[in-house]
Structure formats: C-alpha cells, structure tokens
Structure 1
Amino acid sequence: MNAAVFGPVALGLGTGLALIVAIGAQNAFVLRQGIRGGYVGLVVAICALSDAVLIAAGILGIGTLIQAAPAVVDVVRYAGAAFLVCYAVMAARRALRPGALVAVDQDGGSGAGAVAATVLALTWLNPHVYLDTVLLLGTVANNQGPGRWWFGAGAMLGSLLWFSALGFGARLLRPVFARPGAWRILDGLIAVVMLALGIRLAAGS
C-alpha cells in the first residue's frame, strides 16, 4: 500500500474510531448482546453497514442537505430521545425485578426481528450520527481530495473492527455475568446511560 493510499486510510481509521469508541446507547446495546450471545453477528453487521452507508453519504455530500433541513434533525432528535427513555425504563425494570434476570443464554432474550429493530432505532434515531458521521467525517473525507474514498474505507474499517471487538469480545465477560447480580448492575448502568442520553437529546445537547 503506497503512501497516497495508506495516509488517507490511516486517517480515516483513526478519525472513525475516535468518533465511535465512546459510551453510548448503541455501544451499550452491542455490549449487552455480546455478553448474552444473542444475534451478535446480526447486531455487528447492522452497526457496521449503517456506519458504512452514513460515511458514504457524507462523502457524497449529503451533509449539505442535513444543514439545509435542520427541522428533520429535530424530528429525529425527539424520536430518539423518546426511544432512549423507553429503553431506559425497560432496562431499569430488568434491574429491579430479580425474576427477570437470567444467566447467559443463547437467544439473547428477544427474537432476531426485535433485536434488529432495536439496534436500527439506536443507530438511525440518533441525530449525532448524522452530525458526526455524515457531516464531520464527510467534511474531513472531502478535504482529502482524490483520497477521500480511501479515507472513507478507513473509517468504515474502524467501525467494523470496533463493533466486532465489542460484540464478539464481550463473551470474555460471560463468566462474570453468569451471576444474576451482575446483570442487575449492568442493566442498572444501561438504564442510567440511556436515560441521561435521552434527556440530553430532548434538551438539544
């Protein structure tokens, strides 16, 4: 790989990882599914493909449409906030009801359709994904000139690597989460994260 390719790919990889490696609703869900062993491949694929679509949209200049239609972002923001609050309530109920806490299983507690719908909502109802991935990554990519698609490839690779590591690597924590008490703590933390993010979204921050 020559320097004209390696440079943009490495920059895209680093920039992409910097944006997605953070505590958030999507990452929390991927971690939980990874620990449970429920449709992990499906969850990782949806997250990585969604990021790839969004990154490509940014490189193609879709970010200008987002800037021209802020009302659309506001609609997504309120819908996302409502979804996060509802998810926080469900996580809190799991944490507060010992009977609902189960050890690691193989079906993830929900069918493939429900899991897919949840991860799609957590991804596409997050306005920051449009502002960060489409606008920010799109702007940086287009500053690379002819190397913009190599930059995009690096960012897409970073997304795939991160979600694969988070989802499939979470199985290492299964011995810890064989105890229902550990699930209580995890779901309690997820409830707090989701609620905080929902409130922040609703407040426009």
Structure 2
Amino acid sequence: MILPALLGLGTGLSLIVAIGAQNAFVLRQGIRRQHVLPVVLICGLTDALLEVLGVAGIGLVVERAPTLIEAIRWGGVLFLLWYAWGAVRRAMRPEALAAAQGSEASLKRTVLACLALTYLNPHVYLDTMVLMGSIGNAQGDPGRWWFALGGALASLGWFALLGYGARGLTRFFATPRSWQILEWCVAAIMVVIAARLAFGGIEV
C-alpha cells in the first residue's frame, strides 16, 4: 500500500508547509533552541492524531458541528491577537530582546502556548480531520490507514525539520535587530491569520 501512504505524505505536506501560526511558533522556538522537542511532538502528534480520527470518521462529526467550530474560531482570533501583541511589545523593546534570548521561558509556559496555537486554530481540525479524513476514506480499506500513516509521517517530519533546522539560523539572530525583524514578522502573521478567521469565516 505504498501509493496511499505516498498520497497521504504529499497531501499532508501540502497542508502544513504553508506559513502559519504553528510554523511561526516552532521556528521561533527552534532559533532560540528552547523546548524544541516537546513543541515538535505536540504539533506533530496532534496532527497525526487528528488525521487518524478523521480517517476513522470523526471528521464528519466536526463538519456537522458549526457551533463548536464558531466557538473555536473566535477563541482562536482572540488568542492570535494576544500573541501578536506580545510579539509587537518585544519588537518595540530591542534593548530587552538580547537579554530575553539569554533567558529561557518555562516548559509549562511554552507547552501551554503551543497547545493554544494548535487547538484554538479551526483550520487544524478542518485540514486534518475533515479534508485529510475525506481523502483518506476515499482510499478504502486498508488504504485509508496507510494514507493516515503517510500524513502522520509528513507532520512529524516537517515539524522536526522546522524546529531543529531552525538552529542553522541562530548565528543570523545573534543581534537584537534580527530578533526585531522576526518578532514583527510573527506579529504580522498572527494578525493576518486572525483577520482571515474573523472576516473571512471558515470554509468547511
């Protein structure tokens, strides 16, 4: 069942490689070399779990729960704006950025932020459970499970590559100015995603 697995791998990569809130967070943690493994595992295993649930048919339940999706949508908007404001505050204080990079956020705080960015993003559910689930179920048995395996490997591989590959950028981010640029970019990404959620709605 190589073909369904490869289809799952390719489909999964096409959905997660685009710049988004999760990717920006993983990239930032990778550059700082702080709690990279738990962040990578949370993002990768969450995607894998939701893809398996989607293939198992739970995606149909999510698709028919507009109230739940709306609640997650507005919770996500608020959290993304709050996170963007934090990035703006850091970017506007370059003298504090250098000191901040030498300190380490607690594991608990990092994990909570990662969980919020993951589970308060409606597109995580729609991309993995609904879209991946629909495509996977079209493969029949046992192809759909091989498809889910391919998607899971895509998620785990991508987030590991992003988190640990970001270490190569550490030298570039040795100055506060570089961190300012990154924080402004993170803030812009969060605001754009929040605006799309708030004004564009969610297509299921």
TM-score range, shorter chain: over 0.9
Alignment of 1:105-116 (within 5 A): 105=101, 109-116=104-111
Q: Percent identity?
A: 51
Verify: 1:17 aligned to 2:10, yes or no.
no
Alignment of 1:55-70 (within 5 A): 55-70=51-66
Match of 2:81 among 82, 85, 88: 85
Asked if structure 1 preserves the Cα contact closer than 8 Å seen for 2:43 and 2:159, the reply is yes
Residue 126 of structure 1 corresponds to 121
Post-superposition offset of 1:35 = 0.1
Which consecutive segments of 4 or more residues in structure 1 shift more than 6 A? none
Residue 136 of structure 1 corresponds to 131
Q: Structure 2 length normalisation: TM-score?
A: 0.95
Query: What's the CA shift string for 1:35-74, capped at 9, x where partnerless?
Result: 0000000100000110111101101111111122101000
Post-superposition offset of 1:126 = 0.5
Bigger mean CA offset, 98-107 vs 78-87: 98-107
Q: Where do 5+ consecutive residues of structure 2 fail to align?
A: none
Determine the C-alpha separation between the residues in 2 that align with 1:17 and 1:190.
21
Determine the C-alpha separation between the residues in 2 that align with 1:76 and 1:119.
16
Determine the C-alpha separation between the residues in 2 that align with 1:24 and 1:74.
19
Asked if structure 1 preserves the Cα contact closer than 8 Å seen for 2:95 and 2:176, the reply is no
Query: What's the CA shift string for 1:75-117, capped at 9, x where partnerless?
Result: 000000000000000000000111221278576x311011111
Determine the C-alpha separation between the residues in 2 that align with 1:153 and 1:197.
28
Code of the residue aligned with 2:138 in structure 1: it is: N
Code of the residue aligned with 2:105 in structure 1: it is: S
Determine the C-alpha separation between the residues in 2 that align with 1:103 and 1:192.
23
Count of residues paired in the alignment: 200
Query: What's the CA shift string for 1:117-136, capped at 9, x where partnerless?
Result: 11111111011111111100
Match of 1:42 among 24, 38, 42: 38
Residue 33 of structure 1 corresponds to 29
SS in 2 for 1:145: coil
Q: Structure 1 length normalisation: TM-score?
A: 0.94
Residue 102 of structure 1 corresponds to 98
Asked if structure 2 preserves the Cα contact closer than 8 Å seen for 1:38 and 1:105, the reply is no
